[in-house]
Amino acid sequence: MNVLVTGGLGFVGSAVVQELRQANHRVTILTRRAVSGHSSSEITLVQGDVTVADGVNHLINKEGFDGICHLAGLTGIRDSFARPANFFDVNVGGTVNLLKAVRTRYDRTGIATPIVFASSRAVYADTFDMPVSEAHPATPTTPYGLTKRVVEQLLGFESSLKVTGAVALRCFNISGGAPGIVDTDTQRLIPRLVGALAGNLPPPPLASGRSQLDLVHVIDVGRAFAKALDHAAPGDFHIYNVGSGATTSLEEVISLLEHSAGRMIPRGTGVSVKYSNYGAVAADISMIRDDLGWAPTLDVQTIMHDAWTYAEAGSSQRESLL
């Protein structure tokens, strides 16, 4: 297959590209980064932005992709409250441009283009029901979560017209790492903890108590995208949770990171809203297991080990995957 991956140089996008390559798919990455001199026989890098409609339309209708993995977008719940319009512009507006281009191709050729979309557990409101299935009400309480839900609905409508066949993957807390695949966003909890372990960042103030995380390895998430793309059929729309099905306490996360690093994380003081609002939510992953045959293969010990090991090794250069 000839596959377009938007946001394919990001943390999760890099894992998706790796899995697609291992399945012998040809990959084109749409990225806002400078890409001069980094294409290969298996991967083509195209500099562009999903918010630029003409560029997206030209690329999709020129290349005639067999499928699209759509990961480009703004992330961060806290940032979305500070800049809600920006989040809608990029996350929703960028997807609208993508769908318009797919529709243009369909009208011209009659070919539907499958799409796998990176959604989020943020579409769910806070709940004490565990595990959370896809049937749980999707009533997001954050601008970020709302953008993800709106895109899901758009994909559902377009799929009903057979312009596409789409799968939305509601990913829970993604972490871990691999050669060339490192989460460098220190606004997220685990990269911030890794930075504190390495002595590069001050320790974050952490809240104790109910904070629990359903952690899933980034490589397992990449596998989920590859499997979903194989099952995306014109006219169909499916939503799946992607997580571990269990929760890990914040205290255990810290302990596992400290064990991997062989040192202690300096403790910050106070309560941080930024890092204390995870709740205790685990994903019900029975549907993706039954439909796609996907289940996580890497446990929380491996996730934390890899989050530390590959960040400490300085493996953040995407070129190692090319």
The domain total for the chain is: 1
Indicate whether 219 pLDDT > 60. Answer: yes
Average pLDDT on 220-234 reads: 97
pLDDT value at residue 322? 32
| Per-residue model confidence as pLDDT tens digits over 113-152 | 999 999 999 999 876 667 999 999 999 999 999 999 999 9
Looking up residue 316, the CATH number of its domain turns out to be 3.40.50.720
What dihedral do alpha carbons 222, 186, 239, 153 form, nearest 10°? -130
pTM above 0.85, yes or no: yes
Task: For the beta carbon of residue 10, count every other beta carbon within 10 angstroms.
Answer: 25
Average pLDDT on 166-173 reads: 97
pLDDT value at residue 205? 76
Q: Are 137 and 215 in contact (CB under 8 A)?
A: no
| Per-residue model confidence as pLDDT tens digits over 8-47 | 999 999 999 999 999 999 999 999 987 765 556 689 999 9
pLDDT value at residue 317? 40
pLDDT value at residue 40? 67
Parent domain of 38: 2-321
Side-chain half-sphere of 198: how many Cα atoms within 13 Å?
18
| Structure-token pair, residue 304 | 């934390």
Q: At what angle do helices 53-63 and 93-109 cross, to 10 degrees?
A: 40
* Residue 311 parent element (H or E): helix 300-312
Helices and strands, counts by H and E, the chain: 12, 11
Indicate whether 277 pLDDT > 70. Answer: no
Rounded Cα distance, 59 and 77, in Å: 31
316 Cβ partners below 8 Å, 6+ apart?
Answer: 180, 182, 184
